[in-house]
Amino acid sequence: MDGLIVLGRAGRPVVQSRFRHRSAAYPLLHVDYLNSVLRRARAEGRERDVPPVLAVPVADALLAHDDTDDSEAETGSSSSASSASASAAEENVWDERPPPPQPAARADADAAADADEGGAVLCHIAIGELRFLCPVSRHVDPLVPLGFLHRFVEVLHAYLLNADDDPARLTEDLIAEHFDTVYQLLEEMLDGDGHILLTETNTLKDIVLPPTWLDRLVSTVGLGSASDRARPALTAPVPWRRPDSKYAKNEFYLDFVEHLHGIVHASGRPVALELGGYIQGTAWLSGTPEVAVRLTKPALVQDAAWHACVRQAKWASAQTLSFIPPDGAFELGSYRVAAPALGAASTASADAPLPLFAAVQLGEWDAARGTHAFSITVESRLGGARTLTDVVVEWQLGERAQGVDAAVQDYGVASTAQSLGSAADGGGSAPPDAVVFDRRRHLLRWTTASLAPGACTTLRGTLGAHGAPCRPLYALQIRFAVAGHTLTGLRASDIRVEGVTPQAKGVRNTLTGALEWRRETST
């Protein structure tokens, strides 16, 4: 990686790290390139389609410029080395050790490798009104810079927002207000050569003190700064945890979250499904406790990526998660669920346990009215007392779509949902629904807060077009969540905490999903 840039709402840099390329134009070139791509995408109404990794071919000239500078530096260092060797020979100094590599030679080797690969790529993510950029001119897996960008955002949330992950609160004004803290974090997390250093929040808090209201008050009246305070030792026995952690109430919680995503045929038959999950933990434990977690079905866990605190040998031998937990909220690990849990998870399977069913119908074009009649039905297939929540249905209607006039029917009772961006109650115990048509993106979004077991809800209405029929996308995008439920039954069977007695500990299970539900199309 070459460095990191944070862009504000207007597309201008707010803060950036040091860059391994000495040219000041190098980071600005990537900023201008991304802004031009975003402007074109906004004009065409496809801003969300901009890929997270962009090729920047015009960076070749700057890479070649760096090659020339490094070659000149190497020539100077070679001359100095030759003079030093001559002096050593005159003094009859015998040394069998090979000469150490010179910094300029190492820089030249890196620049030569960059020139052989050619160009650069730009990895970027959007969080609220901010964009985080990471130019890359070396051969590296794009997941590395993208993962680092997300980790940097998590650290900013922990420092500036007290772990509140609401992206709307991470603003340009907040970054500017705490510019010194953000820049110190950049220095500690990424060095000038693009190497990742520290990423653990608890370790960073020992080096870069989080801003507090008292710091702002002290700096305002001019009594000193936070740097004047004594800092703790940087040699903590566990890098992800402070050794002096103290809590009035010792508590430990785990959240098992499974995520189902894939493609479903219009008949409800899965075309391709994948099931993965992650474990989110919250530890408010004093001292340095030991935690051991046993799972009900550990054989289902595949391709696990555990937090550094997990003892890999213990997991491999006894299928037990043994670790010293980080302070506060943390992600213990992520994994992929073995195929038998879905019948045939990554292939078509008629027996896959889908928690819902959806159907969409699109009528013929009515030239006199300039509309299509349509209906979208979502039915819960859950049993017991489980409820579908946060159901979101999105349908791309095509560039010709001009508007939507629709109403929601729950349990056969029509609601008063309006067409463009309004929400209405379904009457009685029916959940509130919201129907929104995004004119800029030509997108219909239908949101249902909750759907009881076996319940069915339908959105009926018309799609308006100007002069010609609409050409909606062939599939719906459906997202949902189910609290207290998992498809696999994977959960914690036993949690043991040693070193401290927790006053409370618990486990929650959640199923989330993102399905592409295809519709019947006429040939």
Which one has a higher pLDDT value, 522 or 111? 522
Taking the C-alpha atoms of residue 390 and residue 434, their distance in angstroms, rounded to an integer, is 11
| Buried b or exposed e, range 260-292, using 16+ CB within 10 angstroms | bebebebebebeebebbbbbbbbbbbeebbebb
Per-residue pLDDT for 312 more than 50?
yes
Compute the average pLDDT of residues 225-229.
48
Asked if 229 and 483 touch (Cβ cutoff 8 Å), the reply is no
Per-residue pLDDT for 111 more than 50?
no
- What's the pLDDT score for residue 340? 56
Q: Torsion angle of alpha carbons 146, 151, 155, 157, nearest 10°? A: 70
Return the residue matching tokens 């100094």: 93
Burial of 301 (0-12, 13-18, 19+ CB in 10 A): buried
What does the DSSP 8-state code read for residue 48? G
- What's the pLDDT score for residue 89? 42
Compute the average pLDDT of residues 207-230.
60
Closest CA to 487 of 337, 376, 346, 385: 337
Taking the C-alpha atoms of residue 436 and residue 172, their distance in angstroms, rounded to an integer, is 28
Tokens of 180: 């010194």
Distances (CA, A) of 272 to 40, 149, 164, 357, 388: 34, 30, 35, 16, 22
- What's the pLDDT score for residue 20? 81
Around Cβ 69, how many Cβ atoms within 10 Å?
17
Taking the C-alpha atoms of residue 291 and residue 491, their distance in angstroms, rounded to an integer, is 16
Q: In the structure, what pLDDT confidence band is assigned to residue 410 with cuts at 50, 70 and 90?
A: low
Of 18-32, 260-274, 413-427, the one with minimum mean pLDDT is 413-427
Per-residue pLDDT for 376 more than 70?
yes
Question: In which order are the strands placed within the sheet that holds 492-498?
Answer: 320-323, 290-295, 492-498
Taking the C-alpha atoms of residue 406 and residue 64, their distance in angstroms, rounded to an integer, is 59
- What's the pLDDT score for residue 127? 92
Per-residue pLDDT for 372 more than 50?
yes
What does the DSSP 8-state code read for residue 403? E
Compute the average pLDDT of residues 235-239.
69
The 10s digit of each residue's pLDDT in 254-269 is 999 999 999 999 999 9
For 476, half-sphere exposure in the C-beta direction (CA atoms, 13 angstrom radius) is 28
Torsional sign, CA 373, 270, 335, 301: positive
pTM: 0.70
Q: In the structure, what pLDDT confidence band is assigned to residue 465 with cuts at 50, 70 and 90?
A: confident
Compute the average pLDDT of residues 286-308.
92
Residue 209 is which amino acid?
A: L
User: Which H or E run includes 121?
Assistant: strand 120-127
Per-residue pLDDT for 15 more than 70?
yes
- What's the pLDDT score for residue 219? 57
The set of residues, in sequence order, having a beta carbon less than 8 Å from that of 424 and lying 6+ positions away, is 408, 415, 416, 417, 418, 432, 433, 434
In three-state secondary structure terms, 399 is coil
User: Which H or E run includes 35?
Assistant: helix 25-43
The 10s digit of each residue's pLDDT in 159-192 is 988 867 777 889 999 999 999 999 999 999 998 8
Per-residue pLDDT for 91 more than 80?
no
- What's the pLDDT score for residue 62? 56
Return the residue matching tokens 């019948």: 343
- What's the pLDDT score for residue 167? 79
Distances (CA, A) of 221 to 173, 178, 224: 22, 17, 8
Please state the separation of Cα 385 from the chain's center in Å: 32
Per-residue pLDDT for 510 more than 90?
yes
Burial of 162 (0-12, 13-18, 19+ CB in 10 A): exposed
Which one has a higher pLDDT value, 240 or 154? 154
Taking the C-alpha atoms of residue 383 and residue 352, their distance in angstroms, rounded to an integer, is 15
Q: In the structure, what pLDDT confidence band is assigned to residue 131 with cuts at 50, 70 and 90?
A: very high
Distances (CA, A) of 88 to 76, 84, 134, 186, 350: 18, 6, 45, 42, 80
What does the DSSP 8-state code read for residue 145? H
Asked if 374 and 401 touch (Cβ cutoff 8 Å), the reply is no
In three-state secondary structure terms, 298 is helix
Tokens of 191: 């060095």
First to last CA, the chain: 49
